[in-house]
Structure 1
Amino acid sequence: MSLYGSDSGELEVARVQLHQAAQMIAAAGVSYAEHQADDSHTNMELLRPLNVWAGAVCPGKRSWRLALDFSALKYLFLDGEEHTPLSEYALHGQTFDEARAWFMRQVIRAGAEPEAFSTALHFEIPDNDYAKGRPFKRENQRAFVGLAQHFLTAHEALERLLAQKNAGDLRIWPHHFDLGALITLDSEAGKSVGLGLSPGDGSYNEPYYYVSPWPYPQKSGVLSDEALAGKGFWHTEGFTAAVLKASDYTRVEQTAGYIDAFLDSALHACEDILIGRP
């Protein structure tokens, strides 16, 4: 099944490499940026018009931030204010340790302390060979371009949905490598909706949208009462969320409208579950 030009197996190879590469950005945030209670110093935001995903702004003689170009599989060391690329590093054919050595050279030039950097993080990602010295490979370029497009499409769709909501920032998180945000419905009662795009994981080996109510409903039959648009369905194994898989949303001609309809129906369903309708 073609998912923006690549099948799920090809996207998985790209996803695993990009997920590992994102750990350098998370480590930069942990090592140099001001720590935030919500761990947002480890995440990545989309920078337009570069269309790269950048980590936290870090101090030095001049502020800086590390970014990752998903399509090209390369790091960019950016000026922290103007976002001008100061140096670039293509990962194809290079190891994670070699990339770290390049990054340390940029840190020194920016006036930060290389001794402060550590890749030890407070979470673990799935085991992969690229963390153990296997060189990164961008042999299937369309897979990286395709996965980058899934994220960009999701960012646009989620921005449209979140524009009028009490929502947090839309970011890629390094633990699960998902693009997500949180909508607060009732802060005192702890009711919220988490939504976003996973590029694929142990549940589904392909990108998928998720919209998840919190707390999860406890009464049986609640989910079956909430209709979802398109081929959206309720996932309940390990987590509870409305899900729409890439193998379904890439089949249609009007992809953006199809995704929007699913997200809108799923959010309304979660609001019904958590706070009801007047």
Structure 2
Amino acid sequence: MGKSNDAMKKRKNRKSPSCQKLKIFTQRSLLYRRIVSIMAAKKRSKTGKRSNSQGMCFRQETAVNLEKTMVPMINGNEPSYDSTEHVYPSKFLIMCLNTIQNSLQNGGVLNVEDKPLFANAWGVEFWNYYSNGQDVVEKSGADSTREQIAWMASAAADTIARKEKEGLSFTGPFLLFLVPSLEKAFKVRQVWKPLETVGIYTLSLHSGTSIENQIHRLKSYEPEFLVSTPDRLLELLSLKAVNASEVSLLVIDGLEAPFEGSYFDGIKSVRQFISGNPQTVVFSDYMDNLSISMVQKLLEN
């Protein structure tokens, strides 16, 4: 009887960690739902219920800014917040956010006192647009933050995991993040690297490393995520060292007005290598009617 009791205790102890994790995930999911409901209530009380015709439009002569820093670009219209269906994140997405946060905190990049990434207001709103298949312009600034980078990566990782469960496979990178400099590529790579523990690999492509080494790494890792400057990516595309045709999520960072110069031209050239119509997120410091029209044309293949 003694041995039997000991065995039962050991089995119970083995199950405890997973039960504790499930409890934590449940608590976080409930907290996320609470955050979404609070945000929706605040928006309703501030602006009232809005019709689908309001907001920022691409194919009309005027654009109305309703103080939303995130503007979806879909069919030329911005849907009202209330009309967009809320899709709550999976346990896997929250796990990805926590994995990134723990790594950045251990590395001293984020403070332990900072609120959890899954409670980030921008991320909550971004997830709502992303899960409904909408493109987004973030026009409060051209430089994306670590929190925003973490949410985009976690959302993409969640999509990959879900599609693979359905039996789909990807022959090339799923997420392409275009940046204007080597320094920004390093910042993005730093946020995404922890996701290797869940099977999502990232390569950073820029002129700071030999192109031969990057070709070798592309063949060896077959990364799901790419962060690159347009000039180096175009070199690799011309050598057929990477296939960007099936990119599903395109992020354009650091798009500063006026929209011209080598960075803007490079983005346009890269876009020609992407087939179909990937979801797109653009970080820009300024958006007027002309700028919106230029970005819309940029996104069309």
Shorter-chain TM-score bucket reads: under 0.3
Name the one with the larger strand percent: 1
When normalised by structure 2's length, the TM-score is: 0.26
1 or 2 for the larger relative contact order (CA 8 Å, sep ≥6)?
Answer: 2
Name the one with the larger helix percent: 2
When Rg is computed on C-alpha atoms for both structures, the one with the higher figure is 2
